[in-house]
Amino acid sequence: MPSFNSIQSRVDDMTNYYGKSLSTSNDLKSNVCTIEETTSHREADVYAKLHPEVLSRSYGCGILVPPALEGARVLDIGCGSGRDVFSLSQLVGQSGSVIGIDATQEPITFAKRMTDWHMQVFGYDRPNVEFLVGTMEDLATAGIEDNSVDVVVSNCAINLSTAKERVLKEILRVLRPGGELYFSDIFSDRRLDPSLRDDPVLVAECIGDVMYSGDFHSMMRDLGVREVRAVRSYRKIVRNEEFRRSIGRAQLESRLYRVFKLPLEDKCEDYGQAAVYLGTMDGHEQEFMLDDGHMFETGRAKLVCGNTAMMLADTRYAKHFRVFGDRSRHLGRFEDCADPNPASDDSRVPVGRSSCCG
């Protein structure tokens, strides 16, 4: 575990970069902390209600518009100037709440200043967002209690920490049982040269200390999460010659993951269960995509393994599904199931099968 001093020194480098060197995304030296995927109609509608200045100050690498959030308590780790917080504010509605936490004072001050404008646009009579200065390695000091959050999101921020395992442990601590970490970040297909971590600009540009995706899976297993699900991913071609050279032949990807706080199993096991999506999530009337291997068409029954059944029945998705069967009778391994815990980088599992059962 990195020492307090090394964590703090990294935080100082990052706050210096995000507070002093950058004013808008035009100041970035590469395209890595930018969104390069196309938005769905629903996502575009959410972004259309955001202040242009908020959009111009975002440095995320993915689109965070998770489904079924009405009334939820959401926490955004490394929220920056609040693009995702204000997006999520629309999704949780007046009865929900969103907390954004970031180590850098400047974007938090800016986001606070933009709050009234957004609340007015969303038609809320009181703010459902709160912005805090604090570090992702220590959410307790920021006052985030155990089992108090329904959904944690993060957009291209966890890679910046020098204590990623500690951050993920903190996230699991604050999530309620059945809660979900829904996050986008940059991953590499191999471990990068550790000396790259000493270059604060390369790190701040979401390159120098990104995780090898295999190590992320192992880290989650060490923390008791037996399976994580990739929702989507896209390749990042680093558009900065010097940065590209520094990572050699490594390939970077922006990935969106779902991690549930659930007692999942190591393997996909068959209990004869099936699930039917009711078509009741806003913006997902025809289908619901749990991950890149599980698309549920409305009204169409699908056989599911025990882990998938749990993700649908013991989470906020429960009211949107009918899950048939329980775990009283085990029928062996789930048939035709890819290994949810591949030994090597899971990006090599064929598309559509990076998670467990299909």
Q: What residue ranges bind ligand SAM (CB under 6 A)?
A: 11, 14-15, 18, 33, 58-60, 78-80, 83-84, 102-104, 107, 135-137, 155-157, 160-161, 206
Q: Which two tokens stand for residue 148?
A: 């108090």
User: In terms of CB distance, is 33 or 228 closer to ligand SAM?
Assistant: 33
Residue 194 Cβ vs ligand SAM, minimum distance, rounded to whole Å: 19
User: In terms of CB distance, is 28 or 290 closer to ligand SAM?
Assistant: 28
User: In terms of CB distance, is 170 or 346 closer to ligand SAM?
Assistant: 170
Identify the CA nearest to 261 among candidates 161, 144, 152, 100. 152
User: In terms of CB distance, is 137 or 291 closer to ligand SAM?
Assistant: 137
User: In terms of CB distance, is 139 or 309 closer to ligand SAM?
Assistant: 139
Residue 162 Cβ vs ligand SAM, minimum distance, rounded to whole Å: 8
User: In terms of CB distance, is 156 or 310 closer to ligand SAM?
Assistant: 156
265 vs 175: CA distance, rounded Å = 19
Residue 82 Cβ vs ligand SAM, minimum distance, rounded to whole Å: 8
181 vs 167: CA distance, rounded Å = 12
Residues 93-97: contacts with CB within 8 Å, 24+ apart?
93/128, 94/124, 94/125, 94/126, 94/128, 95/70, 95/71, 96/69, 96/70, 96/71, 96/72, 96/128, 97/73, 97/128, 97/129, 97/130
3-state helix, strand, coil in the chain (%, to 5): 30, 25, 45
Q: Provide the β-strand partners of residue 254.
A: 186, 234
User: In terms of CB distance, is 84 or 270 closer to ligand SAM?
Assistant: 84
Residue 157 Cβ vs ligand SAM, minimum distance, rounded to whole Å: 4
Nearest residue to ligand SAM on Cβ basis: 60
Residue 135 Cβ vs ligand SAM, minimum distance, rounded to whole Å: 4
First and final C-alpha spacing in the chain: 37
299 vs 234: CA distance, rounded Å = 30
User: In terms of CB distance, is 2 or 279 closer to ligand SAM?
Assistant: 2
93 vs 88: CA distance, rounded Å = 8
Residue 81 Cβ vs ligand SAM, minimum distance, rounded to whole Å: 6
Coil, strand or helix: which one is 250? coil
Residue 324 Cβ vs ligand SAM, minimum distance, rounded to whole Å: 39
Q: Which two tokens stand for residue 289?
A: 């995509």
Q: Provide the β-strand partners of residue 241.
A: none
Residue 142 Cβ vs ligand SAM, minimum distance, rounded to whole Å: 9
Residues 6+ apart with CB under 8 A from 54: 81, 82, 83, 86, 111, 114, 118
311 vs 181: CA distance, rounded Å = 12
224 vs 231: CA distance, rounded Å = 20
Q: Provide the β-strand partners of residue 297.
A: 287
What's the order of all strands across the beta sheet hosting 302-304? Answer: 302-304, 273-277, 321-324
User: In terms of CB distance, is 67 or 107 closer to ligand SAM?
Assistant: 107
Residue 218 Cβ vs ligand SAM, minimum distance, rounded to whole Å: 22
Task: Give 269's DSSP letter.
Answer: B
